Copies of this chain bind each other. A is one copy, B any other.
Amino acid sequence: MFKDLDPLLHSQLRLAVMSILISAVEAEFVFIREKTNSTAGNLSVQIEKLREAGYISVEKSFKGKMPRTTCRITPEGIAAFEKYVEDLNSYLQKK
């Protein structure tokens, strides 16, 4: 009846990150922080969790002299997100 929800995605901030990345080719750390209105510390931790899980890839480079962290969703990330959305539907049947 109720599908188990991927605990990695059932988190407001991580879900927001995935939501951004699923509709963008890539996104920078600062952009994601602004869009999600999160603190850098929290975002850093959650991005690392998504990366560890293989849901996103993270690339570090420089924009001029300033550091830049770029995130991309992986095929596994896309699959996990789509499964999460589907599983969620088992909970959302309206009256």
A19 touches B91 (CB 8 A): yes
Interface string of A1-41 (1 = CB under 8 A from B): 11011000010100110010011000000000001110000
B residues near A36, Cβ cutoff 8 Å: 2
A91 touches B10 (CB 8 A): no
The CA-CA distance from A12 to B1 in the complex, in Å, is: 13
Q: How many copies does the complex hold?
A: 2
Q: A19-B92, A19-B93, A23-B95 are in contact. Are A5 and B12 (CB under 8 A)?
A: yes
| Chain A at the B interface: SS class | helix
Which A residues contact B (CB, under 8 angstroms)? 1-2, 4-5, 10, 12, 15-16, 19, 22-23, 35-37, 78, 82, 85, 88, 90-95
